[in-house]
Structure 1
Amino acid sequence: MNDTRPTEPGLAQALEKMRAAGADDAARTVFAHYYRLAATGETGLIPEETISPLTDVERLADVDVDETQAHDALAQTVMIKLNGGLGTSMGLDRAKTLLPVRDGQTVLDLIVAQVRHARERYDVRLPLLFMNSFRTRADTLTHLERYPDLAADGLPVDFLQSAEPKIRVDGLVPVTWPADPTLEWCPPGHGEVYTRLASSGVLDALLERGYRYLTIANGDNLGAAPDPRLAGWFAATDAPYAAEVCLRTANDRKGGHLAVRRSDGQLILRDTAQTPADQMHYFTDEHRHRYFHCNNLWLDLQRLHDRLSQSGPVLGLPLIRNEKTVDPTDPTSPRTLQLETAMGAAIEVFPGARAIAVERGRFLPVKTTNELMLLRSDVFTLAEDARLVTDLPKLPGIHLDPRHYKTINQFDERVQIVPSLRDARSLRVRGDWTFSHPVHVTGDATLEDNGQQQSVPPDLH
Structure 2
Amino acid sequence: MKKEGLPSLFIETFAWYYRQLVEGVTGLIAELEIEPVTDLPDMEALPLRLCQIGEEALARTAVIKLNGGLGTSMGLEHAKSLLPVKNGYTFLDIIARQAILRRVPLILMNSFATRQDSLAALKAYPELCGNIPLDFLQHKAPKIAQADLSPISWPANPELEWCPPGHGDIYTALVTSGTLEKLVAAGYEYAFVSNSDNLGAVIDPLLLGYFVEQGFPFMMEVADRTEMDRKGGHLARLENGRLVLRESAQCPPEDKHHFQNIHRHRYFNTNNLWLHLPTLQQVMRERNYRLGLPMIRNSKTVDPRDPTSPPVYQLETAMGSAIAVFERAAAVRVPRTRFAPVKKTDDLLAVRSDAYVLTDDLHIEPSPEQQHQPVVITLDDRYYKFANDLDVRFPYGPPSLRHCTSLSIEGDFCFGQNVVCRGKVTLVNQTNEQVKIADGMVLEGEYQYG
TM-score (norm 2): 0.93
Residue 413 of structure 2 corresponds to: 433
Given that 2:221 and 2:269 are in contact with CA atoms closer than 8 Å, whether structure 1 keeps it comes out as yes
Over residues 362-387 of structure 1, what are the superposed CA-to-partner deviations in whole Å (9 max), with x where a residue is unaligned? 11111111110111111111111211
Equivalent position amino acid for 2:435 in 1: Q
| 1:200 to 2:184 alignment | no
* Deviation of the 1:106 alpha carbon: 0.6
* Deviation of the 1:449 alpha carbon: 4.5
Residue 410 of structure 1 corresponds to: 389
What SS does the corresponding residue of 1:58 show, helix, strand or coil? coil
| 1:454 to 2:435 alignment | yes
- Equivalences for residues 306-455 of structure 1 within 5 A: 306-390=282-366, 391=368, 392-416=371-395, 417-452=397-432, 453-455=434-436
Equivalent position amino acid for 1:55 in 2: T
What SS does the corresponding residue of 2:109 show, helix, strand or coil? strand
* Deviation of the 1:178 alpha carbon: 2.0
Residue 117 of structure 2 corresponds to: 139
Residue 43 of structure 1 corresponds to: 26
What SS does the corresponding residue of 2:120 show, helix, strand or coil? helix
What SS does the corresponding residue of 2:197 show, helix, strand or coil? coil
Over residues 372-425 of structure 1, what are the superposed CA-to-partner deviations in whole Å (9 max), with x where a residue is unaligned? 011111111111121112232121211112222222122322233312222222
Q: In the alignment, which of 124, 137, 155 is matched to residue 178 of structure 1?
A: 155
Residue 13 of structure 1 corresponds to: none
Equivalent position amino acid for 2:201 in 1: A
Given that 1:118 and 1:385 are in contact with CA atoms closer than 8 Å, whether structure 2 keeps it comes out as no
Residue 265 of structure 2 corresponds to: 289
How far apart, in 2, do the equivalents of 1:422 and 1:283 lie?
A: 35
How far apart, in 1, do the equivalents of 2:260 and 2:93 lie?
A: 34
Residue 151 of structure 1 corresponds to: 129
What SS does the corresponding residue of 1:259 show, helix, strand or coil? strand
How far apart, in 1, do the equivalents of 2:209 and 2:427 lie?
A: 47
Equivalent position amino acid for 2:38 in 1: T
Residue 244 of structure 1 corresponds to: 221
Q: In the alignment, which of 94, 109, 116 is matched to residue 78 of structure 2?
A: 94
Given that 1:188 and 1:339 are in contact with CA atoms closer than 8 Å, whether structure 2 keeps it comes out as yes
How far apart, in 2, do the equivalents of 1:443 and 1:347 lie?
A: 42
Over residues 172-228 of structure 1, what are the superposed CA-to-partner deviations in whole Å (9 max), with x where a residue is unaligned? 111122222111111111001011111211111111111111110011111111211
Runs of 4+ aligned structure 1 residues displaced above 6 Å come to none
How far apart, in 2, do the equivalents of 1:445 and 1:256 lie?
A: 32
* Deviation of the 1:456 alpha carbon: 4.1
Equivalent position amino acid for 2:119 in 1: L
Q: In the alignment, which of 90, 105, 115 is matched to residue 99 of structure 2?
A: 115
List gaps (5 residues or longer) in structure 2.
446-450
- Equivalences for residues 51-66 of structure 1 within 5 A: 51-64=34-47, 65-66=49-50
Equivalent position amino acid for 1:53 in 2: P
What SS does the corresponding residue of 1:421 show, helix, strand or coil? coil
TM-score (norm 1): 0.91
| 1:84 to 2:61 alignment | no
The range that moved more, 447-456 or 141-150, is 447-456
Equivalent position amino acid for 1:363 in 2: F
Over residues 10-43 of structure 1, what are the superposed CA-to-partner deviations in whole Å (9 max), with x where a residue is unaligned? xxxxxxxx00111111110111011111112211
* Deviation of the 1:448 alpha carbon: 2.6
How far apart, in 2, do the equivalents of 1:451 and 1:291 lie?
A: 44
State percent identity of aligned pairs: 47
Over residues 97-116 of structure 1, what are the superposed CA-to-partner deviations in whole Å (9 max), with x where a residue is unaligned? 01110122110001001111
Equivalent position amino acid for 1:199 in 2: T
List gaps (5 residues or longer) in structure 1.
1-17, 120-125
Given that 1:430 and 1:447 are in contact with CA atoms closer than 8 Å, whether structure 2 keeps it comes out as yes
* Deviation of the 1:67 alpha carbon: 4.1
* Deviation of the 1:56 alpha carbon: 0.4
Q: In the alignment, which of 166, 170, 187 is matched to residue 210 of structure 1?
A: 187
What SS does the corresponding residue of 2:328 show, helix, strand or coil? coil
Given that 1:115 and 1:225 are in contact with CA atoms closer than 8 Å, whether structure 2 keeps it comes out as no
How far apart, in 2, do the equivalents of 1:449 and 1:283 lie?
A: 38
How far apart, in 2, do the equivalents of 1:274 and 1:411 lie?
A: 36
How far apart, in 2, do the equivalents of 1:47 and 1:455 lie?
A: 53
Residue 15 of structure 2 corresponds to: 32
Equivalent position amino acid for 1:130 in 2: L
How far apart, in 2, do the equivalents of 1:77 and 1:287 lie?
A: 36
How far apart, in 2, do the equivalents of 1:101 and 1:68 lie?
A: 32
The range that moved more, 62-71 or 359-368, is 62-71
How far apart, in 1, do the equivalents of 2:33 and 2:392 lie?
A: 48
Q: Over the residues paired in the alignment, what is the CA RMSD in angstroms?
A: 1.6
How many residues align structurally?
436
